[in-house]
Amino acid sequence: MDLTWTDEEEAFRAEAREWLARNKPSEPLPSGDTFEGFQANRDWERRLFDGGWAVVSWPREYGGRDASLWEWLIFEEEYYAAGLPQRVAQNGIFLLAPTLFEFGTSAQQDRYLPRMAGVEDLWCQGWSEPDAGSDLAGIKSRAERDESAGGWRLYGQKTWTTRGGLCNRLFGLFRTDPSAERHRGMTYLLVDLEQDGVTVRPLARLDGDGAAFAEVFFDGAFVADDDVLGAVNEGWSVAMATTGSERGLTLRSPGRFTASVDRLVELYRSTPDPDPLARDAVVRAWIDAEAYRLATFETVTRLAGGARMGPESSVNKVFWSEMDVRLNEAALSLLGPEAIFDDTPWMKGFEFALAGPIYAGTNEIQRNVIAERLLGLPRR
């Protein structure tokens, strides 16, 4: 065991820190989940790409710098410590990209990865549907074969599509075999949203951000055969690779929480005569964030040794999502009567955190997975 960074890693950290300090926007960025604030975020992320920092762990040919997982963690720590926000490109670079690297053809990789990293394409995820939330296998949107056009025609509806109203592309699951049921007969498709037969209706989030979600309606939109990711009718297993990433390591790097908890400690120190109960809540949040960071180091050590993420990603997801709620509640409790106001970073953080136990598989589903797949308790 060695919990120190190498000289190379320290140099990487110093380089990232310096670049971010020099290049980050002088003012805090507006929310990227609003129509008004989106472009400023996109501009910033383009700058990140131009500086070679958009996708550090990707190969250089696609805009990355071949960084190790360790370096990616370091970058994330520095990124969030600099006060920078979650990326508008994140669903592409963190959820689709791992699947593209694993299942995509080289043509698909060449076509999409650089534009994704450079925020020329913005990708949203087309998983959930009105009747398929926790029960993802219940999706009904379908792709009908259009042999003459060499592809598929889409029909149906997706919903809770993050930033759907701001994205030009969608990756999602569609039924391609009408005779198959549940997990079978679905195909993972890469869809151009800027075409006839697609209607996007934005949905505002609990905190009022107007472009946070969208409903996406398909009525004959076209997907060419070379935009099928993986094999036809094998979409479920292709998609599962992505949901593993969503629940596991990539969606919530420890740097996000160590940065939040550092701000919480600052808030504590600047609070006159803080309540001892709030002190306890703050130190619990601090320990939680440290536990999460160390558990991630353990995971990354295993992954670096060739292991793959299994159902323990569900342990991860429950932990970070509930930690995030507690962390923001600790801040609200420190704020006391001031906790009543809207648009403070902590109320916004609390509202944002409340989504954690719901999305990427509800925590109820995750606990079922932990019980059945990690502990071996019997399914019904």
Partner 1 sequence: MRFAFTEDQVAFADAVRGLLRDQCTPDRVRAVWDGDEPYVRDVWEKLAGMGVVGLTAPASAGGLGMGPLDWVLLFEEAGRVALPAPLVETTAVAIPLLASLGESACVERAASGDGIVAITMADNVDRVAYGASADAVIVCTDDTVRLLGAGDFRVREVVPSVDHAWLLAALDTDAAAGQVVAEGPEAADAIADAYDRGALAAAAELCGLGEHLLAAAVEYATHRKQFGVAIGTYQAIKHHLADVRIALSYARPLVHAAAWHVAEHTPERSTYVSMAKAYASDAAVLASKKALQVHGAIGYTWEYDLQLWMKKAWALAVAWGDADFHRRRVADAVLG
Q: Which of residues 249-278 bind partner 1 (CB under 8 A)?
A: 265, 268-269, 275, 277-278
Among positions 86, 108, 339, 345, the unique one binding partner 1 when judged by CB under 8 A? 339
b/e code 342-358 from CB counts within 10 Å (16+ = b): eeeebbbbbbbbebbbe
Say whether residue 186 binds partner 1 (CB under 8 A): no
Among positions 51, 61, 280, 308, the unique one binding partner 1 when judged by CB under 8 A? 280
Q: Say how many residues touch partner 1, by CB under 8 A.
A: 84
246 given a catalytic annotation: yes
| Cα 51 from Cα 45, distance rounded (Å) | 10
Question: Which part of the chain contacts partner 1 (CB under 8 A), choosing from 12-20, 89-97, 226-234, 359-367?
Answer: 359-367
Say whether residue 318 binds partner 1 (CB under 8 A): yes
Residues 130-159 within binding reach of partner 1 (CB under 8 A):
131-135, 138, 159
Contact call for residues 97 and 113 (beta carbons, < 8 A) = yes
Name the minimum Å distance from CB 34 to partner 1.
12
End-to-end alpha carbon distance in the chain:
41
Question: Which part of the chain contacts its own copies (CB under 8 A), choosing from 14-22, 39-47, 111-119, 274-282?
Answer: 274-282
Say whether residue 340 binds partner 1 (CB under 8 A): yes
Say whether residue 367 binds partner 1 (CB under 8 A): yes
Closest to 62 measured CA to CA, from 106, 19, 5: 106
Amino acid at the residue 34: T
Q: Which residues pair with 198 in a beta bridge?
A: 218
The total of other beta-carbon atoms located within 10 Å of residue 213's CB is 21
260 or 363: CB nearest partner 1 = 363
Contact call for residues 28 and 84 (beta carbons, < 8 A) = no
Name the minimum Å distance from CB 279 to its own copies.
8
Of these residues, 246, 312, 322, 372, which one is catalytic? 246
9 or 146: CB nearest partner 1 = 9
Say whether residue 276 binds its own copies (CB under 8 A): yes
Say whether residue 128 binds partner 1 (CB under 8 A): yes
Among positions 85, 177, 333, 345, the unique one binding partner 1 when judged by CB under 8 A? 333
Q: What angle do CA 371, 133, 219 make, to 5 degrees?
A: 150
115 or 247: CB nearest partner 1 = 247
Residue that has been written with the tokens 């939040």 in this structure = 260
Among positions 146, 233, 290, 345, the unique one binding partner 1 when judged by CB under 8 A? 290
19 or 297: CB nearest partner 1 = 297
| Cα 90 from Cα 232, distance rounded (Å) | 26
| Cα 116 from Cα 108, distance rounded (Å) | 12
Amino acid at the residue 326: R
Contact call for residues 63 and 113 (beta carbons, < 8 A) = yes
CA 128 to centroid of chain Cα atoms = 15
Residues of this chain that bind its own copies (CB under 8 A): 276-277, 280
